[in-house]
Amino acid sequence: MKLLERVALVTGASRGIGKACALALARSGADLALNYYPGLQAEAEGVVAEIEALGRRAIAVEGDVSSAESVEKMVAETLAWQGKIDVLVNNAGITRDGLLIRMSEKDWDEVLSVNLKGVFLVTKAVAKAMVRQRRGRIVNVSSVVGLCGNAGQSNYSASKAGVIGFTKSIALELGGRDILVNAVAPGFIASEMTEKLSQEVKEAVLKTIPLGRFGQPEEVAEVVAFLAETSYLTGQVIPVDGGMHT
């Protein structure tokens, strides 16, 4: 249990990859602050119960990552709970897919605000505490489309590419304080989003994946947990995509 006595904050932790990451970190010994978007408290409390069943401590913390005021409150609540944040997983994200010529400015702004600005706001707030501690691990959840693009997802791809650039830059800034910053780039992961795809689209996507299947949230969480434990790896992006991007 390499994360014993460590405190982790996971954004967007009420379901999907965020939930899987929280559970993986708990199994590694961490106590968890689970950020959830307003309206998802019941789901977040369910994850709290699962973590407590593993013998770890957990709280659910409401917060909109695209709001600086909300983020400051969320981080302050976490610090008041345990006095430190050792691990941050920036997972919260949304999609508003559509072809460029049909995409509204609102859909563009909302995706960039949550997926990229949110990572900036939460990282900035948490980094202040980590700098004082002179230690920390930050894992940003990007996407394989941030590496290779995807038709109909220009806003999402741009936001996730931005996360990669942000990760590499902040790794350079914070490395001297033993704060390691890395990213994972999931491919097509079984989730509520992939369930909405038509069978035709699913079959087309599967043809692009050498392993021939969608990934599972737990498979992304395994890599996130590794990055939370590592001691000499920073500024890197690890695809978890079944071989899509080589």
Picking from 181, 190, 232, the residue whose alpha carbon sits closest to that of residue 211 is 190
DSSP code of residue 149: -
Write out the two tokens for 71.
């983020």
Contact 69, 45 (CB under 8 A): no
Amino acid occupying residue 66 = S
Query: For the chain, what's the residue count?
Result: 246
Write out the two tokens for 145.
């489309």
The secondary element (H helix, E strand) that includes residue 61 is strand 58-62
Write out the two tokens for 51.
């973590």
Cβ burial 6-30 (10 Å sphere, 16+ → b, else e): bbbbbbbbbbbbbbbbbbbbbbbbb
- What is the Cα gyration radius of the chain? 17
Cα–Cα distance, 233 to 26 (Å, whole number): 21
The CA-atom distances, in angstroms, between 225 and each of 24, 50, 111, 220, 222 are: 6, 17, 26, 9, 5
**Sign (positive or negative) of CA dihedral 219, 225, 228, 231:** negative
- Positions annotated as catalytic residues are 156
